[in-house]
Structure 1
């Protein structure tokens, strides 16, 4: 079973530093995800208020400019709007995972999307509140306990808050 490690950065600068250290620790852009509120207006590049995942992914270049160089390095950066929650910038595997919430207006919005990623509901509610207040959620998908430990150390050294890890369900065969 794969695991994921999650943490909250209070600022974009702190988030970029943590992502940079995760890269240095050997994690690839396909293993790191970032989710932050879109406060810089990159939603203006979206085609409509309820951005569809492919359209959100197409705005990746514009979102990358607003998100910063290190976050812009991550795979699949784009903007999406979750009905009832607002516009976000997402990068990495979290973009695809939350895309359904953006497209379908899933019940629970962001919380539902996070729970769907395997985050326990009480932690998803905690992260929802932190993200809505301007913090940045960073997650790292890991293969083994050594990587879980390494990711947690990077989060701790970067002064991240609310660091948790969880097992990810195995993909269906």
Structure 2
């Protein structure tokens, strides 16, 4: 079985921290968990720090770590970035690397394009991009096998996560709520 990613939406940072705690307690490494959410507080700060009139395409370093708390702060590679057409975001985990390329290159497609590149079907990727734009948090978990996929889905369902889906390169996704 190829590696799979399980995606879900958390409606608050508190819920996201609860989900992350549960995932870690279930045996998932913080290196396999990603979170992506809008950064509403520092758009002007990014533009000022970068000395530019348009923050689009900017990738800002680990200073975003001070913005998040709880388990979110323990995830690998927390960073802030601005995606063209989407705006400022905070990302942590493997999604940060995928999205940093989009931001640095000012590539069209934004979050949805990056998620499609990671194996998420376009319709799901666009839904996640819209949910993030509404202020929700996208959580992804990388799983090595079907047992881990089921364990992650159970954790997400039990925590009340929404729009749970499983994706893998070259395979049709499964979607559930």
- Alignment TM-score, normalising by the size of structure 2: 0.87
For 1:5, what is the secondary structure of its paired residue? strand
Q: How far did 1:52 drift?
A: 4.4
Q: How far did 1:168 drift?
A: 3.9
Aligned twin of 2:42: 41
- Structure 1 segments, 4+ long, off by >6 Å, are none
Aligned twin of 2:29: 28
Structure 1: runs of 5 or more not aligned: none
Aligned twin of 2:146: 145
* TM-align CA RMSD: 1.6
**Conserved 8 A contact 1:43-1:80:** no
Aligned twin of 2:174: none
CA distance in 2 between counterparts of 1:14 and 1:160 reads 8
Superposition pairs for residues 84-123 of structure 1, below 5 Å? 84-123=85-124
For 1:123, what is the secondary structure of its paired residue? helix
- Alignment TM-score, normalising by the size of structure 1: 0.89
Aligned twin of 2:173: none
1:50 to 56, 61, 68: 56
Output one character per residue of 1:4-49: Cα deviation in whole Å (capped at 9) or x when no partner.
1000000111011101110111111110000000012277255352
Structure 2: runs of 5 or more not aligned: 171-177
Aligned twin of 1:124: 125
Between the two proteins, the alignment pairs up a number of residues equal to 164
CA distance in 1 between counterparts of 2:75 and 2:144 reads 19
For 2:31, what is the secondary structure of its paired residue? coil
**Conserved 8 A contact 1:50-1:102:** yes
For 1:101, what is the secondary structure of its paired residue? helix
